[in-house]
Chain A
Amino acid sequence: MKISSQVNKLLKDHKKHDIYLDHAATTPMDPAVKAAMDPYFCDKFGNPSGFYEIGLRAHEALEEARNKVAKILNCSSREIVFCGSGTESDNLAILGVARFKGKGHIITSSIEHHAVLETIERLEKQGFDITILPVDRDGFVNPKDLDDAIREDTILASIMYANNEIGVIEPIKELATVCRNKGVLFHTDACQAGCSLDLDVKELGVDLMTINGSKIYGPKGVGCLYVKAGIRLEPIVYGGGQERGLRSGTENVPGVIGFAKALTLCQDDKDKENKRLTQLRDKLIKGLITKVPKCFLNGHAVKRLPNNVNITILDVEGEAMGLFLNELGIYASTGSACTSKSLDPSHVITALGLPYEAAHGSMRFTLGHCTTPEDIDFVIEVMPKIVEILRKISPLDLDSNEVQEGHGNLHYK
């Protein structure tokens, strides 16, 4: 069939759906969260620093939210600092430790979110030494590598709990133990973990942990940093001394209340939801890998978030696939350079030892509360058709084994 008719058939055979599969980018807000927040915009609007009744009420609500979060994290409410985003929380942890100590060596991994990597690279320019640990082919940081990298002057290690692109869950407990044994502070970016993983900071053994509202069906613009008692940070925002002086600025009362509500709902429901999502995830992985030729999974198949599917499809480019999906009403993301602000494709896919080609052809589907088995069936139905069309347009015929071994040798059809 001619491509033009193939495209027409694909687009006309299917009514446009509304299938959101980018929950790692952000989640829709749970209506129950919105309901919990609602009174705090217009009615209970007070500034928690006020000494009068309306201020005291806001203060009380804020502290109640803080207690809820502390209970989930199994820590004291005095160890919870609210701020404006996951990125700000990461910045406060890393810059906070670095600026308090003034100098030293910082360790991180090659697959961190930009909120961590860019911050640490900035510190390098300002005179700190940094070590970026590699990950293995499955996406794991090896605790032994961390142990070997720690020096006399190491002040902090920051390694994410679960990766935002490939969903791999890092061995945080082991990594934190390595740091504790050597007296090095350990921070983890748990932004992707908030919905589905255990957040008990004592069990994990972390000193600093970042969570964010917009990935847990909560509001955007709210982040949270767990700061273990006794750890000194230099603030990055100065002013009225809110949040124990660590984050000045009038507290985002409705946001914090929404954050606490969202975290509570997710964590209460996680066993059941994880089971449901894992089944859908594995169905999607299996469906794509069996139906789309020259397609492979990125990141460990089991030790990954229950909602994350990241696959590479060779000879075609991610944005082009994404735009076909968009046309059918499926919203997903890609690691291709063509959707990033830089010209470089995903640093996470290349960190796995895969060539750039694998990153340009990568697609990420992240499932969520609204994902149904029918949604997954539809993706599995249309993806092979999209790939077939784009492969006809492409002059390439890359070798899947070569690419998976890390070589991007050029092969034409």
Chain B
Amino acid sequence: MNIKIVKTDGDVEGLAEQKWVYSPSVKTHFFHPENLVEDVNGFDDSDYNGVGAVGSPACGDMMKMWIKVDPKSDKVVDCKWQTFGCASAIASTSMLSVMVTENGGMKVDDALALKPQNILERLGGLPPRKVHCSVLGDKALRKAINEYFRHSKQFDRMVIEGSVMVDPDTRITDRDIEEAVLEGADDMDKLQKKLKVGIANKDAYAKAEALMGKFMEKYYG
């Protein structure tokens, strides 16, 4: 005997009108991810000129991103990825890869300026408690672009983030924490929801907590 999930109007819930926890766009990108590296062993990455990986399996999300920048136009013309994580993490990496490659490719400088919020908007939003699952993609992209700068000897363009690394797994810096505090994070729970910092990493947690205290004092003291 199977249970029928009965809606209030008495109809048995059918395929046509399923309840789905995220936006339709998240669903599309989760079940049909774009620009995915499907077989990493058979993947020829030799003509990709930047690669970046962030996250860790311990904190629940990690991703690897390969980009191809056309030196003449200074545009990202290809972007491939692999992600370990939940539906939001998979969908947001997929969406990011679409955003940087659509319309002939995004200018490198514009790609560097992408923020998680831009991806969220395109995805039609995520429930608040899932936002933290979408914050790694732009960091992986920046890492890959930086590597492209290094390979192409454009050292002057490398983003030497004048900031201190707080969590090496998720590449969260003191600057990210400052921004999060300004956006309203006033305890570690909220900070972690925004930033995914110090998960499964006690040192990083302690550092983040201390920095949050410092910025709280600075701005709201």
Contacts and interface: CB of A to CB of B under 8 A. Distances in A.
Given A28-B3, A343-B192, A395-B62, A319 B38 contact: no
B57 A3 contact: no
Contacts of B63: 395
Interface string A371-413: 0100100000000000000001111101000000000101011
A334 B40 CA distance: 27
B202 interface: no
A19 interface: yes
Given A3-B33, A323-B30, A337 B60 contact: yes
B130 interface: yes
Q: Report, as a range, how many residues of chain B touch the other chain.
A: 35 or more
Nearest to A334: B86
A320 B90 contact: yes
A370 B83 contact: no
A8 to B, nearest CB: 8
A103 to B, nearest CB: 29
A338 B82 contact: no
Contacts of B1: 369-370, 372
B65 to A, nearest CB: 10
A202 B15 CA distance: 51
B30 to A, nearest CB: 7
Contact of B31 (A11, A19, A392, A398): A11
A20 B3 contact: yes
A316 interface: yes
Interface stretch (A50-58, A161-169, A180-188, A355-363): A355-363
A338 B60 contact: yes
B177 to A, nearest CB: 15
Interface string B1-18: 111110000000001000
Contacts of B40: 395, 412-413
Contact of A393 (B53, B57, B82, B193): B82
Contacts of A408: 57-58
Most chain A CB within a 10 A radius of its CB, from B61, B82, B88: B82
B42 to A, nearest CB: 11
A355 B58 CA distance: 7
A341 interface: yes
A247 to B, nearest CB: 32
Nearest to B93: A393
Contacts of B61: 317
Interface in B1-54: 1-5, 15, 21, 30-33, 36, 38-41, 53
A356 B59 contact: yes
A125 interface: no
Contacts of B32: 4, 7
Contacts of B132: 343
Contacts of A11: 31
Most chain B CB within a 10 A radius of its CB, from A316, A357, A408: A357
A343 B193 contact: yes
B166 interface: no
B189 interface: yes
Interface string B77-93: 00000111111111000
B5 A18 contact: yes
Most chain A CB within a 10 A radius of its CB, from B5, B31, B82, B88: B31
Nearest to B132: A343
Interface of A: 2-4, 7, 11, 16-20, 28, 315-320, 323, 327, 336-339, 341-345, 355-357, 360, 369-370, 372, 375, 392-396, 398, 408, 410, 412-413
17 contacts: A7-B32, A19-B2, A20-B2, A317-B86, A323-B21, A336-B86, A338-B130, A343-B59, A343-B193, A357-B58, A360-B60, A370-B2, A392-B36, A392-B39, A395-B53, A408-B57, A412-B53
Interface of B: 1-5, 15, 21, 30-33, 36, 38-41, 53, 56-64, 82-90, 129-130, 132-133, 189, 192-193, 196, 199-200
